[in-house]
Chains A and B, each alone.
Chain A
Amino acid sequence: MTPHPTIKDILQQAPRPQAGSDATGRIRERMLSEFRTVTKSAADRYNTTERHSFSSLLVTKHYMIPILIAAILLLGTTGTAIAADQALPGDPLYGIDRALERSWLGLSLSDTSRADRLLHMAEEREQEIERLRVQNRFDDVTQAQEHEQQALQNAQQVINRLQAEHTDNGNSSEALTNVAQRFGEISSRFQEREQEHVQSGQSDSDDDDADEMNENSDSDESPSDDDVDETEVNGSDNAAGNVNREQEQDHNRNQNLNQNVNHEPEQSQEQEQEHLQNQNQNQNTNRATNTDQSHSDDPDDEADD
């Protein structure tokens, strides 16, 4: 010990009381026992979480319940929608299919998109018609045809308006051109099917040997324009009259669809009036009438007995 210790030495060399070994060991053992308990419970919690991960998700995570319900509803709705998409006219889910289509149509962001979706609906009806014919469900074919015609008419209105707007603005849209072209293709297919239907009806009437039907069509000079058909039906008796009425309905459907965007409305009205006049004469007098000279020149459009 130095005779002149520093202050720091004196302070540091002050007596330092210590706990006895008994107390030290006892407290140490108590602490380690607690440590083991804490460690074991933590491990148990971890293992429980791992072992029952999914069940604990359901039981302990209460916020997962609404999520699971929503997922089940979503899966159910999606499954129904998929099943409804495959439904045909006359099927129980066909109404849902149509409702979904209308909802999808309502979500269109532009008129061009709306026309495109209407054409998509018409194409779906085409496919349904084919499937219905394969299944020999001809009654339902008529319903599908009406729906296809309706979709085409709506699409035509939208396309007409868009083309008028683009003409006013002096610019054109490639998307609109594509939609109009697609509309022409689908309309042509629709007309072909209708014509086949008319011809098949005519064959039936030939068997009855009672009808005389002339169907003339007139084409516009412009190759891009759709035709405006003039159909003339001559009937001699009631049976023939029934067939003629069917053909008249088909004709009216064709005529409505054939009003193209470039078609002259005045010409269409004139032709329609002429057609109606001729039709009335045929039904009343039961004799063949002279057809309009401009429509009878084409021998392909004539339907002979």
Chain B
Amino acid sequence: MEHHEGDIQALVQAAQAGDEDSAGQLYDAFFQRIYRYFLYRVSGPEIAEDLTQTVFLEMVRSLPRYKQRRAARFSTWLFQIARHRLIDHYRQHRETEDIDAVIERTHIELRVDPEESAYDTRAAAVWQALERLPEKYRSVLRLAYVEDLDAQEIAALLGITAVNVRVLKHRGMQQLKDSLTTPTL
């Protein structure tokens, strides 16, 4: 369910005033995206669930100190919490991460059967072309189109500005199109 930023801010204010229902609505609005963010980057759904719970617990604990700013959005703040929890997780489980499981979830093209249909054939080509893109373009395109994050949220996760995100997104998409139309494809 899509939420406008104004609705989110109203929910935040109500939750800060102690309204439990508003806190629940904030959870519903962001839970699946936060969960997916972790799921694509850790080795199992259980770990993603634990990390997601950690993020929301930290959200309610920090909510009284959260201050709304005109340029900053609540989702940006929330994804920054998620990013830090993921970094902590990587530091603690550097040796035990199941790389194969991560690759399977991250590389969606591996789950596409090229023989099924023309759509699947083209989709497989798109995913393969995406993987050949430079990392900076690939990350932005995945976060924008697969994980449904907007420019500010991506900027918070990557530590760059929202303008940079838009530029990278535009150039990445252009390179992806170019690679799909080249004879070598």
Contact = CB atoms under 8 A, between A and B. Distances in A.
Interface string A146-169: 000000000000000000000000
Contacts of B122: 4-5, 10
A43 B48 CA distance: 33
A42 B35 CA distance: 29
B146 A38 contact: no
Contact of B123 (A10, A16, A32): A10
A39 B180 CA distance: 54
Contact of A31 (B27, B64, B146): B27
A7 interface: yes
A11 B36 contact: no
A27 B50 CA distance: 9
Q: Please classify how large the interface on chain B is, using the bins under 10, 10 to 19, 20 to 34, 35 or more.
A: 35 or more
A34 to B, nearest CB: 5
Chain A CB count within 10 A is highest, among B23, B48, B141, for: B23
B60 A31 contact: yes
A107 interface: no
A138 interface: no
A18 B119 contact: no
A3 interface: yes
B63 interface: yes
A16 B56 CA distance: 21
A17 B147 CA distance: 10
A84 B57 CA distance: 66
B137 to A, nearest CB: 12
Q: Which of A1, A8, A11, A35 has the most CB of B within 10 A?
A: A35
A32 B32 CA distance: 17
B53 A30 contact: yes
Interface string A80-107: 0000000000000000000000000000
B105 interface: yes
A3 to B, nearest CB: 5
A5 B56 contact: no
Contacts of B146: 11-12, 14, 16
Given A5-B122, A17-B39, A32-B20, A38 B52 contact: no
A46 to B, nearest CB: 11
B130 interface: yes
A36 B20 contact: yes
Contact of B57 (A19, A24, A31, A43): A31
Interface string A250-283: 0000000000000000000000000000000000
Interface string B89-123: 00000000000000001001001000001110011
A35 B57 CA distance: 8
Interface in B150-168: none
A34 B45 contact: no
Contact of B141 (A1, A11, A17, A23): A11
Contacts of A38: 60-61, 63-64
Interface in B30-55: 31-32, 35-36, 39, 45, 48-49, 52-53
B17 to A, nearest CB: 9
B176 A34 contact: no
Given A3-B119, A7-B173, A30-B57, A19 B49 contact: yes
A27 B56 contact: yes
A27 B111 CA distance: 29
Interface string B168-183: 0000010011001000
A8 B45 CA distance: 27
Interface in B4-39: 15, 18, 20, 23-24, 27-28, 31-32, 35-36, 39
Interface of A: 1-5, 7-8, 10-19, 23-24, 27-28, 30-32, 34-36, 38-39, 42-43
18 contacts: A1-B117, A5-B119, A11-B126, A14-B108, A16-B146, A16-B148, A18-B35, A19-B48, A19-B49, A27-B49, A28-B31, A31-B27, A35-B15, A35-B63, A38-B61, A38-B64, A39-B18, A43-B18
Interface of B: 15, 18, 20, 23-24, 27-28, 31-32, 35-36, 39, 45, 48-49, 52-53, 56-57, 59-61, 63-64, 105, 108, 111, 117-119, 122-123, 126-127, 130, 141-142, 145-146, 148, 173, 176-177, 180
Which 6 pairs show the lowest CB-CB distances between chains A and B? A11-B145, A35-B60, A31-B56, A10-B126, A27-B53, A19-B35
